[in-house]
Structure 1
Amino acid sequence: METSPSHGPESFAARLRGRERLIGYWIALDNPAGTERIAGLGYDYIGVDGQHGVLHQPGWQAAMLAVDARGRSAGVIRVPSPDPVAIGIALDTGARGVVVPMVESAEQARAMVRACRHHPAGTRSLGGPVRAEIRVGSVPAEIDDRVACIVMIETAAALDDLEAICATEGLDAVYVGPADLSAALGARWFGDPAAADALEAALVRITEAAHRHGIACGIHVLDGESAAKRLAEGFTFATVSSDITHLQQVAAEHLSAARGTGQA
């Protein structure tokens, strides 16, 4: 099935800002052939993990090439840290947006927005004849309109400054990292029932704050069922699991089936 122009990669930033329901997939492995396969399945976006995945900067561009080869999903890169230089490098690969981890204040959020925008709205350097020019154009204002800035809410400090972060001019979305947020709320491990109620309360706070300020709100989840649940609760986009997780899960399931024991 072909993707219509109104739902193709070029419309990702506009659809995100319009708070349409979007479903993504997470790539942690430096495996362009695998990424290309997944990018043809119909996810709205493919998130490439430049923070915790095994893809370092040379792998970011290979991943974007793989995503774009199918013409169905938008490529998004999570940069390693709130670093304007890393943001510029990621966007120069032709990524349709960046996810910035560990943003803890409105001041940081403003700096991240400016790193995604050219003068006069920001500090991003015009890339010239690099891959981004092919994908998103060469006119600064038009490039800025086609690229999304997404910051993560995953620390106690971010929760403390949540309203001001969500009110940041030019910010397109906030995105929950539930593992780090759980730890910030006292969990000893991700999924610790002792922090479950605090996490759910924080998620409500985040979705409501995003809604009040008219920006998109996303979350990383472990499976498709959880994505549907979170979208029904008020999140506007959700990213499903990861290639490395599913590779292990499916391999274990086949091993169990082959042994006929029900145990991997």
Structure 2
Amino acid sequence: MDPLHAASIACLGAASLCWLLAVVTREYSWVDRLWSILPPAYVAWFASQSQGEDCRLTTMTILAGLWGARLTYNFARKGGYAPGGEDYRWIELRRRLPPPVFAVFNLVFIAFVQNVLLLLLALPAWVAASPSAAPWGPLDTLATLVFLVLLAGETIADQQQWRFQCAKRARGQAYGPKFLTQGLFRYSRHPNFFCEVSMWWTFYLFSVASGAGWLNVAIAGPLLLTALFHGSTAFTEQLTRAKYPTYADYQRTTSRLVPWFPRR
């Protein structure tokens, strides 16, 4: 069986399981719990199906594994794997949408579209596993270094956010700043989102380096991820602004995603 065919069957199974668990438990974050696990697994699967040792695929597997381990840890410490650890945005959407509409949304988008995205993010490894792939080159080295820098940036941003939220809980919700505007968040309202999306565009470069060209099938993953984060960020900020009116001032002075110097 072709490795992509087998991975597609696994993707369909994961999507069906996520949908079924959501229907049974009335929790809708099952895909979130697989988000950091499936892409590294798909990458490792594609790498394992290549013939012989391949420096590029080994590197891609290690990078995807580092990304997954870091994200899994951050998700776990926030209670994402605990019972009831549901993303607050799904709760808000359930409140806004009629039950039949949300049921369709859960089936189509939450369960299936997101699971397909997780497979698409790993497609650069499938492209790189081609027997005719070019040997390791300068673009591979550049992609590796940039990926590691972005991984470090996301780690720092998440740690700053974690420390802020812990301090906020300790001092009480009524005291002190309500949202983080210091550290990396002084230059971007969502530096962790910027690093996350940029990492997968960087990962895509491995498919280009393998000889597939600048426009190949693996571009579907980062394109869909960019669109997803665009919509998700807009919805997140809408909720934050409704809860904290002063967030509008932060929006006026600070870049949305791409880090830049704050405006006065």
Structure 1 or 2: more strand by fraction: 1
| TM-score w.r.t. length of structure 1 | 0.26
Larger Rg: 2
| TM-score w.r.t. length of structure 2 | 0.26
Point out which structure has higher relative CO (alpha carbons under 8 A, 6+ apart). 2
Structure 1 or 2: more helix by fraction: 2
